[in-house]
Amino acid sequence: MEKKGNIQKKDMKKKFLFSIAAVITILILQFLPLHPPQGKNQNEIQTSNEVKKILNQSCYDCHSDLTLWPWYSKIFPINFYLYRHVEEGKMELNFSEWELLSKKENLQKEILF
């Protein structure tokens, strides 16, 4: 009977130590910076002010180097998901690099205004 009690105590101690280690790991991950520094002013896309306003409000957060990260983007594990989502968006279309693309690439990525 005593062996069973000792085994249960050891199991409880292992679970407790594992839980403490998991909490400490999550707390450490909260403080790791994931977002790169904010980009410089990007090249202006030649279009109307109305379209520029729409692009700023609807597209630039995921498709430029001027991402305005929401407050919850600092919370682990949400930050990893959001960072990957923005990186994938910029790989498809990055307005910060629009002027660097060739005319052929611009035509392929053209957005109908």
Which pLDDT score is estimated for 40?
61
Instruction: Give 18 or 113, the one with higher predicted confidence.
Output: 18
Question: What is the reported pTM?
Answer: 0.60
The closest of 39, 32, 28, 37 to 74, measured between CA atoms, is 32
Entry field: residues in the chain: 113
- What are the sequence ranges of the domains in the chain? 1-32, 47-113
Question: Does residue 112 have a pLDDT over 50?
Answer: no
Higher pLDDT among residues 95 and 50, named by residue? 50
Cα distances (Å, whole numbers) of residue 103 to 14, 63, 85, 98: 62, 19, 27, 10
20: confidence class by pLDDT, cuts 50, 70, 90: very high
Mean pLDDT of 59-72: 86
